[in-house]
Amino acid sequence: MRNIKRKLINLLFLVSLFTVAVFNISCSDSTSPETGQGQLKLSMVDAPAGYDQVNIVVTRVEVHKSIADSNSGWFVINNNSATYDLLTLRNGASVVLGNSSLDAGSYSQLRLIIGSGSNVVVNGVTFPLEIPSGDQTGIKLNHSFVIQSGVTYELMLDFDAAHSIVLTGNGQYKLKPVIRLVPTKISGTISGKINPASAAGYVYAISGTDTIITLAEPISGSFMLMALLQKTYDVEIFSANPAYNDTTITNVAVVAQQNIDLGTINLSVK
């Protein structure tokens, strides 16, 4: 009788251990995917180009989850069609392309779906801007990022219009996008003011093979170089007035999420 009781106690103990193990496995499986939602804020800026306007019609903005295949797993963060003149998005000006809640997890791509009506204005004349597959597969941008629950991930899309537009042999303008994607948390800006304003021309931030460009405002002479990764740059300032010399400011250290103000930069007379 004593042996039977002992066997029953051992059996009940094993059953209880099995039950606890199953419960723990079940709980682990239910919480293994990251849960909750975070926020993605996508803004756009642009470098100058030799056109009057570059108008892009964006009808939808989407992001792609890493675990999904290429056809599924796309999530819309902006479904409002709008037209953006890229050349107005410089020297501190930007536009929000999307600001939306997303499930926490890893994402691998963004894409801009382009509608009809995009164009480029050259010397006052408007030309249609062809964007191959823009209204179907869209402009796809590879960028891996993680959305964390309760956290906003801010991303800057730097559109280089000057290098993105190609004039073909038959006089047609095509868009072959040259775009940088820079997380806000690891980038900063450089600003300043050129004196005299009449000499305000192009301003470059150069670090190794990386070159970011803006065009100083012709009335005020002010400029801001945006979406700069945290490192050291040489800032080259080119005069728009042949009576003044160009100048270079070396070793400008950019700090993440900060603006480095170079103050007033006086150009010398030749």
pLDDT given at position 34: 54
pLDDT given at position 72: 79
Kindly tell me if the per-residue pLDDT of 21 is higher than 50.
no
Region at 117 (left for phi over 0; alpha for psi -120 to 50; beta for the rest): left
Write out the two tokens for 174. 């095509």
The alpha carbon of 243 is separated from its chain's Cα centroid by a whole number of angstroms, namely: 38
CA torsion angle for 56, 61, 67, 69 (degrees, to 10)?
-60
Model pLDDT for residues 220-229, shown as the tens digit of each residue: 999 999 999 9
pLDDT given at position 171: 86
Residue predicted with more confidence, 135 or 42? 42
Question: What distance in Å separates the CA atoms of residue 71 and residue 6, rounded to the nearest whole number?
Answer: 60
Kindly tell me if the per-residue pLDDT of 106 is higher than 70.
yes
Model pLDDT for residues 39-89, shown as the tens digit of each residue: 999 999 998 999 999 999 999 999 999 987 767 789 999 999 999 999 999
Confidence of residue 132 (pLDDT cuts 50, 70, 90): confident
Check: CB of residue 181 under 8 Å from CB of residue 63. Answer: no
Confidence of residue 135 (pLDDT cuts 50, 70, 90): low
Model pLDDT for residues 193-245, shown as the tens digit of each residue: 999 999 999 999 999 999 999 999 999 999 999 999 999 999 999 999 999 99
Burial class of 194 by CB neighbour count within 10 A (0 to 12, 13 to 18, 19+):
buried
Please tell me which of 19-33, 169-183, 251-265 the model is most confident about, judged by mean pLDDT.
251-265
Check: CB of residue 158 under 8 Å from CB of residue 226. Answer: yes
Residue predicted with more confidence, 53 or 5? 53
Which option is the CATH number for 37-177: 3.30.750, 1.10.3470, 2.60.40, 1.20.120? 2.60.40
pLDDT given at position 67: 84
Question: What distance in Å separates the CA atoms of residue 54 and residue 61, rounded to the nearest whole number?
Answer: 19
In the chain, which segments carry CATH 2.60.40.1120?
187-266
Check: CB of residue 196 under 8 Å from CB of residue 217. Answer: no
Average the pLDDT over 253-266 and give the result.
97
Confidence of residue 134 (pLDDT cuts 50, 70, 90): low
Burial 156-176, CB ≥16 within 10 A → b, else e: bbbbbbbebbeeeeeeebebe
User: Which of 22-36, 39-53, 185-199 shows the lowest per-residue confidence on average (mean pLDDT)?
Assistant: 22-36
Confidence of residue 38 (pLDDT cuts 50, 70, 90): very high
Hey, which residues does 213 pair with through a beta bridge?
204
Question: What distance in Å separates the CA atoms of residue 115 and residue 202, rounded to the nearest whole number?
Answer: 32
Cα distance from N-terminal residue to C-terminal residue, the chain: 113
Write out the two tokens for 77. 């963060």
**The domain 187-266 belongs to what CATH superfamily?**
Carboxypeptidase-like, regulatory domain (2.60.40.1120)
Model pLDDT for residues 160-184, shown as the tens digit of each residue: 999 999 999 888 999 999 999 999 9
Confidence of residue 3 (pLDDT cuts 50, 70, 90): very low
